[in-house]
Amino acid sequence: MEKIIVLDFGGQYKQLIARRVREIGVYCEIHPYTTPLDKLKEMAPDGIILTGGPASVFLEESPSYEAALFETGIPILGICYGAQLVAFRCGGEVRTAPVSEYGHAELIVGDEKSAAAADSLLMSGVAATSACWMSHTDYIAVPPAGFSVTAHTADCPVAAMEDPARKIYAVQFHPEVVHSVEGTKILSNFIRKVCGCRCEWEMKSFAERTITELGERIGNGRVLLGLSGGVDSSVAAALLAKAVGKQLTCVFVDHGLLRKNEGDEVEEVFGPKGDFELNFVRVNAAERFYLKLAGVSDPEMKRKIIGAEFINVFEEEAKKIGRVDFLAQGTIYPDVVESGTGSGGAVIKSHHNVGGLPEHVDFKEIVEPLRSLFKDEVRKVGLELGLPEALVYRQPFPGPGLGVRIVGDVTADKVRIVQEADAIYREELDRAGIDMGAGQFFAALTNMRSVGVMGDGRTYDYAVVLRGVLTSDFMTAEAAELPWSVQQTCMNRIINEVKGVNRVLYDLTSKPPGTIELE
């Protein structure tokens, strides 16, 4: 099987690189930069990609790799920090840049003297000028002997370089992000033309391999899965059901923070009367979650409280069931990145299904079959497994539920407000033919109250925020441009039908700088 290895030097885009490789049609694995060269060779990769990272290659404590890597004959592509590492380990010079580059830059094919790279396999078919995404404070000042410069920008003399004789290539920008217009072409050139891959791997291969690996890993063990009814946990359940069958018990915790009527809908689909052959247990735990969250306003603290209570509920159910060897979760890669569990990653927000189990929980280990996938890839796996499209393309919902869609403390009345406003919003979007499958659309409740006038009387009620974003990988997102008439209809209905609301706002913030959830 064709394989590309991504060596991680601490960059938060490492999984996005792997995702792009898989989209091109080659199986891809991520390994830490500490992976020994002998082990790397045993994997027999068709190519190796070195990721970005926050360090400076010329500092002694920075991540590095032995120079022998570049003499193996295995095609190598260094990205950002990886490009600087190529230069540094191959005898070039890397210095602190006189002008740092962050964000959009114009990539110009060729060196500063000649805007051409006719013989470059990496730049084959790439436009003479295009937008690219930069993020660096250091730069390659002098390329190593044997390397030629194949692209530059106004502030970066070596935006791309290569030594085709040794099949070593490097780019200072990030071709894996959508902001680099020719990025996919460049990655495809490396994989197809430099590595010689046929690109025949499909998501079906992931599903088949994962089912086999789960069966081997779990053996005769018993598995407990937290089933929310959302895309991630449902696909995880389907994979595990195919791998171990009735050894799997799915526990649905209704924490009172779900969307309107969602608890009953989940039970209808996955419970005894549904089409799925699962051991299904529903736990109605709204009151205990409300009690734990009383008076808590900090969103990170709310996430931790909800996560801890989930673990408590799971432990209680596990004891009722009997022996449980594995706790399965629908963790996907954006959860991992935002929780800062990757090397060099900053904690953006905690996820209750990331980071391991407390010591007192009686499970052998965690099983996370979707941990390496992005949301759109999870959906592809779901379709491959035969899950209905209505379930696969269901609106994403955070594990902590409405607890993070309520700014400030959580109360039963605030939950009611968000549930009703959210139901109206999604109903009107559906009626208007808005494609909600292209992103995420929901209502959130601010902790802001203001004076209003309703029926000639004074009100002092809450403001609801409507959020609509377009995204494919949930790592970046842009606000959806909803028709004004639809927004007006939503506003009128929410104010008239939801008690306690006298203002409706629309959130235009992209990700970054914001997260998708309001919190």
Annotated catalytic sites, by residue? 80, 174, 176
| Residue 54 one-letter amino acid | P
Tokens of 372: 């390496």
Strand ranges, E, within 229-329: 248-254, 279-284, 326-328
| Residue 225 one-letter amino acid | L
Handedness of CA 332, 338, 339, 340 (dihedral sign): positive
- Residue 16 phi, psi (nearest 5): -65, -35
Please count the other Cβ atoms lying within 10 Å of the Cβ belonging to residue 482.
Answer: 17
Residue 154's contacts (CB-CB under 8 Å, 6 or more residues apart) are: 105, 106
- Cα(420)–Cα(290) distance, integer angstroms: 18
The DSSP line for 315-384 is: HHHHHHH----EEE----HHHHHHTT-STT-------TTSS---TT---SEEE-TTTT--HHHHHHHHHH
- Residue 338 phi, psi (nearest 5): -70, -20
| Residue 206 one-letter amino acid | F
- Cα(90)–Cα(161) distance, integer angstroms: 12
Three-state DSSP class for residue 40: helix
